[in-house]
Amino acid sequence: MRKNVVAGNWKMNKTLQEGVALATELKEALAGVEVKCGVVVAPPLTHVASVVEAVKGSVIGVSAQNCAEKEKGAYTGEVSAEMIQSTGAGFVILGHSERREYYGETSEIIKNKIQLVLANGLTPIVCFGEVLAQREAEKHFDVVKSQVQEAMFDFSAADFGKMILAYEPVWAIGTGKTASADQAQEIHAFVRGIVAEKYGKQVADDCTILYGGSCNPANAKELFSNPDVDGGLIGGASLKAADFMAIIQAF
* Active-site amino acid positions: 96, 168
Nearest to 6 by CA among 184, 185, 207, 166: 166
* Contact track, ligand PGA, 131-170, x by CB under 6 A: -------------------------------------x--
Contacting residue, 37, 114, 173, 248, with ligand PGA by CB under 6 A:
173
| Interface stretch with ligand PGA, choices 22-30, 31-39, 64-72, 212-220 (CB under 6 A) | 212-220
If the CB atoms of residues 11 and 27 are measured against ligand PGA, the closer one turns out to be 11
If the CB atoms of residues 43 and 236 are measured against ligand PGA, the closer one turns out to be 236
> Per CB under 6 A, which of residues 49..88 are in contact with ligand PGA?
none
Decide: is 213 part of the binding site for ligand PGA (CB under 6 A). Answer: yes
Contacting residue, 63, 80, 214, 219, with ligand PGA by CB under 6 A:
214
Query: Nearest to ligand PGA by Cβ — which residue?
Result: 235
Q: How far is the CB of 29 from ligand PGA (least distance, A)?
A: 19
Contacts of 100 (CB under 8 A, 6+ apart): 106, 110
Judge whether 20 and 58 are in contact, CB under 8 Å.
no
Contacts of 160 (CB under 8 A, 6+ apart): 152, 153, 195, 198, 199, 203, 207
| Interface stretch with ligand PGA, choices 130-138, 181-189, 219-227, 235-243 (CB under 6 A) | 235-243
Give 63's strand partners.
91
Q: How far is the CB of 42 from ligand PGA (least distance, A)?
A: 9
What is the DSSP secondary-structure string of 44-106? -GGGHHHHHHHTTTSSEEEEES---SSSSSS-TT---HHHHHHHT--EEEES-HHHHHHS---
| Interface stretch with ligand PGA, choices 52-60, 110-118, 151-159, 230-238 (CB under 6 A) | 230-238
β strands within 75-212, DSSP E: 91-94, 123-128, 164-167, 209-212
